[in-house]
Chain A
């Protein structure tokens, strides 16, 4: 009944991605991060091994796996680097998933095969400079005119939106007013390069420096009416569904980062000496690392449990919020402790833990802040 072992194929995938991260990502990511460069070579390799197609059926060019398989891959990548993990996470669950789930046959045929191989990345434009979690504050508009949607507005912090291989951005926009007076929000596919669609230069970020994050602006940007994704007026409901599962994926990224901190610390304390002993022999260090392992372990159980409910088709909103909350806090705490263990070297960018420290904070913010997760959990409890 209670069996936490991974099925053979999940374990084989986990191991494959572990090797990939160790052999292909670890040796090069430090330089890319330092130079704020998007990891095109790594993305191409991940594409060839099918990671961008993991949860999609083979008929669309996918791998026929599921969302949990994606989470396992994300965890293993994030053990080594979060920029790479988030590029995959956003590419799959924000870029491709909405098209797969809500797209017409034509839209799926046009985009999915190349997105599943990582040749084309999709992005998801929800957040605006004036509001993230508050959809009522959305100001980007799309009006229907002569068979075209005409978009105007600005989107902020959009992952994968300005790479050389970005093919499209799915943009949430106000398309009218509902009977109850609320804004009618719809999702519209805007292909890269459409006139009137401008991509700003990359943000200067605290972390995730090898990932692509940009501000997007739309000025009388016209796309065909057929680019509506899903039902008109269902845009926000669609995004909510996307966000719930995205939280499990972000939880997996957090667990990976938290575990990466344990990996790096274990390696370091077995080598570094102080006062005549390996620092790993001191109880102050042992206890820190034991606590770090506990946090990573707990957070992993939380996201496995949320994923299990999702795969069984049961409601998983609360579990996803718990997993995301626990894991982002584990990542932040472990990154802080690992940096402390490394001492002065922890503050140097050439060591991975410094990168982990910078990458951890966003996990408490992106895809719903920790406050939003608590709000959701309380709401699920009837408060």
Chain B
């Protein structure tokens, strides 16, 4: 079974993240860049499926040069090869342009059966890529899964919502997205780290993929960020001294905030 995993390098959620003043895109210099945690889970799921069914795992990333670090991590975990779409023209691309490019990149992987993505990236948080991709590629999509299994030519999944659990299935090839409940990703071993150095990474530009550079990037985006301001620092809060009625005072406060 040939599996494609979409991965993204994002600013580390442990560091301070911000947008640039110039064009309100991500300030990549301000924070450490890591493989997005949800993508580690997507890679893990692909590796588990490969271990069960055989086949090959290809990771695809779109991002600047240093995204190779994120790709390397996915390869260290055990993915077999990678496609890295890297082009200055992609700077500031919105979800539609990103999905167009990723669709073309997926098309370079021969005979894929399943595409696995995280449900949403921790930086952009649009959560729209899997659905747009499915539309462009004309494939079924089964999104927001906490469990994925493959039986024959069918992928089955469980989607947990506040109302209950939906059991879904689609015929392969298909696109699935996974939530953080899907699994606990493995840490790369040193053997994996060493092996990753020798695994093939194909680097492609938008021209290589036959995409018009004018359709992507900040200029080709259908929407834009008009203004951005940092989160205000947390205020001191309200202090309640407990003189026997502390509990009810807290309850009053919560009622005032319409929280209870």
Contact = CB atoms under 8 A, between A and B. Distances in A.
Contact of B191 (A16, A20, A48, A63): A63
B176 to A, nearest CB: 25
Nearest to A73: B190
A12 B72 contact: yes
A8 B187 contact: no
Interface in A63-98: 63-65, 69
B122 to A, nearest CB: 15
A12 B187 contact: no
Query: Most A CB atoms within 10 A — which of B188, B189, B190?
Result: B190
Interface in B171-226: 186-194, 196-197
A49 B197 contact: no
Interface of A: 8-9, 12-13, 16, 19-20, 45, 48-50, 54, 58, 63-65, 69
- A interface secondary structure, majority: helix
**Which are the 5 A-B pairs with shortest beta-carbon distances?**
A50-B189, A63-B190, A49-B187, A65-B190, A63-B191
A365 to B, nearest CB: 30
A20 B72 CA distance: 17
A9 B189 contact: no
B76 interface: yes
Interface in B152-188: 186-188
B187 A9 contact: no
Given A12-B72, A12-B76, A50 B197 contact: no
B191 A64 contact: yes
A8 B194 CA distance: 9
Contact of B186 (A48, A54, A69): A48
Contacts of A16: 76, 187-188, 193
A131 B197 CA distance: 48
A313 to B, nearest CB: 21
Interface of B: 72-73, 76, 186-194, 196-197
A49 to B, nearest CB: 4
A16 B192 CA distance: 12
Contacts of A19: 187
A9 B191 contact: no
Contact of B188 (A12, A54, A58, A64): A12
22 contacts: A9-B193, A13-B193, A16-B76, A16-B187, A16-B188, A45-B187, A48-B186, A48-B187, A49-B186, A49-B187, A49-B189, A50-B189, A50-B190, A50-B192, A54-B190, A58-B191, A63-B190, A63-B194, A64-B191, A64-B194, A65-B190, A69-B190
Contacts of B73: 12
A96 B188 CA distance: 22
Nearest to A46: B187
A8 B197 contact: yes
A12 to B, nearest CB: 5
A19 B187 CA distance: 9
B76 to A, nearest CB: 6
B189 A63 contact: yes
Nearest to A49: B187
Contacts of A49: 186-189
A119 to B, nearest CB: 15
A9 B72 CA distance: 10
Nearest to A54: B190
Given A8-B197, A9-B197, A50 B191 contact: yes
Nearest to A72: B190
Given A49-B187, A50-B191, 16 more contacts: A8-B197, A9-B190, A9-B194, A12-B72, A12-B76, A12-B188, A16-B193, A48-B187, A49-B188, A50-B189, A58-B191, A63-B189, A63-B191, A64-B194, A65-B194, A69-B190
Query: Most A CB atoms within 10 A — which of B187, B188, B192?
Result: B187
Contact of A64 (B186, B187, B190, B197): B190
Nearest to B32: A15
Nearest to A48: B186
B184 to A, nearest CB: 9
